[in-house]
Structure 1
Amino acid sequence: MADPFVLIVGAERSGTTVLRGMLDCHSELAVLYESHVVTELDAAFVRRDDGTLNVDAFAKAFIEHRWFKRWELSENEVVTGLRAADPIFYADAIRSLFALYARLRGKRLYGDKSPSYIFRMTHIAERFPEARFVHLVRDGRDAARSLQQAPWGPDDFAGAVRYWRDWLEAGLRAGHRLGPQRYMESRYERLVAEPEETLSEICEFLGLNYESRMLGFHRRADEVLRHERPRYHEHLAEPLRGDIRDWRRDLDDGDLRTFERLAGEVNRSLGYQGGVGR
């Protein structure tokens, strides 16, 4: 198998930041935190009339991208690195950037945790044959409540359920088309309860050896939090816990009826049981 381009996807508030922290602790793998560039820089203005890449235009667009700071690269490193790589096509330029990011961290493999890629998975897969998608799923009742409570989330619980459902179903559809060689699903609850076994399975899917150092992700939480608003990831600096959120405690019967009506069937298809009767 060719070296994988690791892409972590999932509905927001499903634990993807935790998984990213774990995989980024692997000695061979550097995983960016929500770069979004794989799809957002794919625009006509970075190409010449013959379809080849305009390297200088691409470098300028990348440096001006809203999340450029997350790469912790200097403008000179970007321009020099891209000119040295001399990519002909867009996908080659993206590979060059991620390879530079990994190399500067002493690693040979790279990845990106950008949940929104879930809507462009088949497109990304076509452009990057080496892409491997890890779709982290979470009980929708917990994810929806967490979304509702986020400052940027829907104001009402029904809106949060629809939001979660739409993201989830987009990932499931794309995963079905991609097949098990390029796509795997993993449950957040199992990652918390059985981290070694779950990470071992994910590593096997990616062609990596499991490393126990991944369990120490919380000791490096500051690397993510310095670019983010810490209150959105307040538990990232703690060892894994399974009691942070529990829909049995957090949702009333009205919420549960709403969830059942809008997303109960798809939630059960993931193996999550229970309902209005708790």
Structure 2
Amino acid sequence: MGNKAMSAGQFLKQANQLKRAGRLDEAIALYHQAIEINPNFAWLHSNLGDALAQQNYFDEAVACFNQALEISSGTAFFYYQLSEAFGKQNKFNQALIYFDTLIKTHTNLEKLNLYTKGLNSNYFSQKKIKKSELWNALKFAIILEQRGEIKEAANLYKKIIEDSPYQYFEIYNKRGKLLLEMGERKWAVNNFEKAVFLNPNSAEYYLNLAEAVNRWSLSVKYYRTAVKLNPVALKKYYDTIKPNNSEEIKVKNPVFVVGCGHSGTSIMLALLGSHPSFYPIPYESAIFLHNLRKIEETMQNWDEECLAAGKSRWVEKTPPHIFQIGKFLKIRPQSRFILMLRDGRDVVCSLKDRPDSGYDKFWERLDRWIYDNLAGLLYWDDPRVKVVKYEDLVTNPEATLRNILHFLDEKYDDKILKFHQTERRWYSSEIIKPEKINSITEHKQYRNWQINQPLFDGRGRWKEEMTEGEKVIFKKKAQKYLLEFGYVEDDNW
């Protein structure tokens, strides 16, 4: 074994000398011989790839660099070689992926600067960037990001976009993230939209759009699209947020009630809000539309309100926060989540009553149930999340609530089932059931009436309301989720 390794080393030494002398064909032949002797030596594949790249055999070079990475995934230089191989072909979307990985691997900025040696902002800003210089400009923009020179990096990305004869979705995406960080939300959205247009299959780009837009309906639409493309991407998206374990947080263990709308979230808020320990936030805050700083400020305000009311914890309910579980667990790591789940057949029938747009068609209502719940499913195994079925709540309320309060480390109190005896005007100033629901105002009035009534059993309405055609659509798109969530045993319904 030692002789073989030495022989491979000798071939490598000779091949490197030939490569430096420009005798690439001879060098490549020796690299191949060395690899036959020792195929698990990563640097043999790396050097072979370098020689092939010098001859513009980029596909073969990329295969060699990937083989080197497979053998030694922690070697940063191999990521650099891959980024260069794609960059020299103007395949910047792929090149940026590997250069970004290199950045994450190399935390030493001085070493990173070696990859853009001799470059500066003035070099690119004072003239049109040539096609041959685009890759160097992109690398330098990334280095500027790492230095914290956000505005300069964003400006350089803009110039690259203007001077490039091509459009690259990842450049728009990178510039959008910088603009969002700078507070330029409108222009961030513009760049993310262009990234999505050029690459409509990226869950990350839709998540960026969801975070950037300032409209409830658009944001949840983009979250659902991202989950539809790749549910796991949602969970990974918030991994970069540093957990806030500050001792200065006054309410460390708040409660969030989340779930697909029309699954019992409002009733759960009313129930928990009747417990002596909890201060209910009496409106849907939609803080998912804000940046991290604003979210933290809002939660701090809730801390103050909660303690001023003589309560120890606050509880907040906004159904689309089911897409924010990962983010909120970073902002308040000791938070608890009550994730409401309801039979999708009843949910789509209930959503039909909504007067706002977006749920006129059956498949739109069904998509909401599917993708909202798939977003929550990612966290079912997290010990800080408890899934509560609406059906369990209405059929066995006391046992279900005792179980919930045990999860929340709180004692059961009979007051919570008497929640309807305390008037609440959370969604409307009147506690009157409207005759018809033809407007948002009437819908809010109806919701407010509901939380002032005793617990109501709303199971099984689909049996009367769902058409045979709708059943066919539901079974085709969502039968597997009814099975997974334990609502049916087969499709004979």
1:215 Cα offset (Å) = 0.5
- AA at the equivalent of 1:169: L
Tell whether 2:220 aligns with 1:15.
Answer: no
1:36 paired residue number: 286
Q: Which of the two has greater strand per residue? A: 1
1:27 paired residue number: 276
Q: Contact 1:8 / 1:16 at 8 angstroms: preserved in 2?
A: yes
1:115 Cα offset (Å) = 1.0
1:277 Cα offset (Å) = 4.0
1:68 paired residue number: none
**Would the alpha carbon gap of residues 10 and 248 (structure 1) be closer, same or farther in structure 2, given more than 3 Å must change?**
same
Q: Which of the two has greater helix per residue? A: 2
Q: Contact 2:420 / 2:453 at 8 angstroms: preserved in 1?
A: yes
Residue pairs, 1:198-217, within 5 angstroms: 198-217=400-419
* Count of aligned pairs between the two proteins: 228
Tell whether 2:492 aligns with 1:269.
Answer: no
**Would the alpha carbon gap of residues 13 and 5 (structure 1) be closer, same or farther in structure 2, given more than 3 Å must change?**
same
Distance in 2 (CA, whole Å) between partners of 1:274 and 1:252 is: 21
Residue pairs, 1:155-234, within 5 angstroms: 155-176=360-381, 179=382, 181-226=383-428, 229-234=444-449
Runs of 5+ unmatched residues, structure 1? 47-57, 59-89
**Would the alpha carbon gap of residues 275 and 156 (structure 1) be closer, same or farther in structure 2, given more than 3 Å must change?**
farther
Distance in 1 (CA, whole Å) between partners of 2:252 and 2:408 is: 8
Deviations 1:178-219 (A, max 9, x none): x1x211101001101111111111111111111110111222
Distance in 1 (CA, whole Å) between partners of 2:474 and 2:490 is: 9
Tell whether 2:381 aligns with 1:131.
Answer: no
1:144 Cα offset (Å) = 1.0
- Runs of 4 or more, structure 1, over 6 Å off, are none
1:53 paired residue number: none
Q: Contact 2:427 / 2:447 at 8 angstroms: preserved in 1?
A: no
1:247 paired residue number: 462
Distance in 1 (CA, whole Å) between partners of 2:323 and 2:275 is: 27
- AA at the equivalent of 1:7: F
Distance in 2 (CA, whole Å) between partners of 1:5 and 1:273 is: 34
**Would the alpha carbon gap of residues 273 and 234 (structure 1) be closer, same or farther in structure 2, given more than 3 Å must change?**
farther
2:313 paired residue number: 109
Q: Contact 2:284 / 2:316 at 8 angstroms: preserved in 1?
A: yes
Distance in 2 (CA, whole Å) between partners of 1:193 and 1:117 is: 26
2:91 paired residue number: none
**Would the alpha carbon gap of residues 200 and 3 (structure 1) be closer, same or farther in structure 2, given more than 3 Å must change?**
farther
> Percent identity of the aligned residues?
26
Distance in 2 (CA, whole Å) between partners of 1:241 and 1:274 is: 26
Using structure 2 for the length normalisation, give the TM-score.
0.44
The root-mean-square deviation of aligned C-alpha atoms, in Å, is 2.2
Secondary structure (helix, strand or coil) at the match of 1:224 reads coil
1:220 Cα offset (Å) = 3.0
Distance in 2 (CA, whole Å) between partners of 1:14 and 1:267 is: 14
Secondary structure (helix, strand or coil) at the match of 2:380 reads helix
Q: Contact 1:29 / 1:111 at 8 angstroms: preserved in 2?
A: yes
- AA at the equivalent of 2:408: L
- AA at the equivalent of 1:156: K
- AA at the equivalent of 1:205: F
Distance in 2 (CA, whole Å) between partners of 1:112 and 1:15 is: 14
Question: RCO greater where, 1 or 2, for CA within 8 Å and sep 6 or more?
Answer: 1
Runs of 5+ unmatched residues, structure 2? 1-250, 430-440
Distance in 1 (CA, whole Å) between partners of 2:367 and 2:306 is: 36
2:196 paired residue number: none
Q: Contact 1:253 / 1:276 at 8 angstroms: preserved in 2?
A: no
Distance in 2 (CA, whole Å) between partners of 1:216 and 1:145 is: 28
Deviations 1:79-121 (A, max 9, x none): xxxxxxxxxxx63x34421112212322121121111111121
Secondary structure (helix, strand or coil) at the match of 1:155 reads coil
Distance in 2 (CA, whole Å) between partners of 1:114 and 1:252 is: 30
Secondary structure (helix, strand or coil) at the match of 2:352 reads helix
1:151 Cα offset (Å) = 1.1
1:221 Cα offset (Å) = 4.7
- AA at the equivalent of 1:101: E
Distance in 1 (CA, whole Å) between partners of 2:363 and 2:290 is: 33
**Would the alpha carbon gap of residues 29 and 11 (structure 1) be closer, same or farther in structure 2, given more than 3 Å must change?**
same
**Would the alpha carbon gap of residues 276 and 230 (structure 1) be closer, same or farther in structure 2, given more than 3 Å must change?**
farther
1:234 Cα offset (Å) = 4.0
Residue pairs, 1:72-91, within 5 angstroms: 91=296
- AA at the equivalent of 1:197: A
Distance in 1 (CA, whole Å) between partners of 2:427 and 2:420 is: 11
